[in-house]
Structure 1
Amino acid sequence: MAFHADRRLTGAAVVIGASGGIGAAFEAALIEEDAFDVVYGFARRENGKRHIDLTDEASIAAAAAIVATGPAPTLIFVATGLLHQGDHGPEKAHGEIDPDWLARTFAVNTIGPALIAKHFLPLMPKTGRTVFAALTARVGSIADNRLGGWYGYRASKTALNMLIRTLAIEERRRNSSSIVVGLHPGTVDTALSRPFRGNVTPGNLFAPDRAAVQLLDVIDGLRVPDSGKAFGWDGAEIPA
């Protein structure tokens, strides 16, 4: 993977969720590519990363204040997501819907990225190509929902897709060259997907470093008319 010269992104790159499988690989790929003046990695579990908690707006604001002291960010990637935790997993039927778990799912998958946008989008330049991308999921597509189930995860990602669309409209008024998108990485060999790999066909379970490069290739190919949409790891648009 290499950024094309006419779309090369300079300034700062920001990775939210840089201790997770995809986020860590994405940050490493950015550093290796050396296309940015500085790469910031933020994570809830710090592990040498700067701290951020998507459920705590004050920590998001503090993270944005750190980035604000350096070069303006031209790439922001939100690599966070919640599908299961402890005894909680995706609901197979409506009888399993739990209000507390549903609220937790939306807090991480929807509200957290919205707050990242609130505090980080104003730091991005008002001119020139910028990209704000957040991990979404194909199961968040209403048109593509043929199996049902996974109520909270599906709904929280669908809501995220609407937020992305709305943010893209507003951001284009501020910077006509801005791009705001959702990215689906496919099934990646991380803790998030581990309990659900039984039905993955051979060749469709990606290592994190491969997934990161694939997503960077998609970002590299984005154009302004793509803003507000969601794309898969292969660059194909995901229906709303």
Structure 2
Amino acid sequence: MTLLQVNDLEVRFAAAGSGLFGLNKQWVRAVNGVSLTLAAGETLGLVGESGSGKSTLGRAILHLNPISAGQVVFDGIDMAHAGPVDIARLRHETAMIFQDPYAALNPRLTVGETIAEVLRVQRKVASENIPRRVDELLDLVGLRPELASRKPGSLSGGQCQRVGIARALAVEPRLIIADECVAALDVSIQGQIINLLLELQQRMNLAILFIAHDLAIVRRLCDRVAVMYLGKIV
């Protein structure tokens, strides 16, 4: 079953220094007419050089970047033209794993507080059950529950990325967009995170859009691969 369908998607940004006083504004097409599909339980690799538009595409799919034209159809609903109710549903069923595991976490919050915040906002579990669910999510990503009391600064990069994955899973997503989520990690830790994603995908029937530049990792993890260049899939 097709979970995500992107049709002729465009994301444009005003070029730096152009259009003084709003006149003759120049636009940069970061995403230029991209179309792709992703089925439930499938992993699509998105590769390309830096600046090709991969991250912008991923953020636009989740409505984190404005969409200039085209469609993002998630579970039959065009999110590019959706109202607040549908956008809220998208937030409840999708998540993103970011490239920098330290920058993606609030340094002032403990690991447990970071995950609990998502559970409270998304209202996934009753408030009295949040501590137990935090422990379950940490266990799911291979971390000891005792780490819930620690802050990101006292963890390794691999541990922080596992916390980021646990936070994403707290939403109970159907789609995860992983944006260069192992690029900042040591090779041995990369393998652990990839194995974790494979296990979670099979266990939860997750759809994953895996943005990367390392073709060896993409080959191991992904069912299909799309190559971006200058905002287009080539």
Which one has a larger percent strand, Structure 1 or Structure 2? 2
| Structure showing greater relative contact order (alpha-carbon pairs closer than 8 Å, 6 or more residues apart) | 2
Both structures adopt the same fold (TM-score exceeding 0.5): no
**Pair member with larger Rg:** 2
Given the two structures, how large is their TM-score scaled by the length of structure 2?
0.36
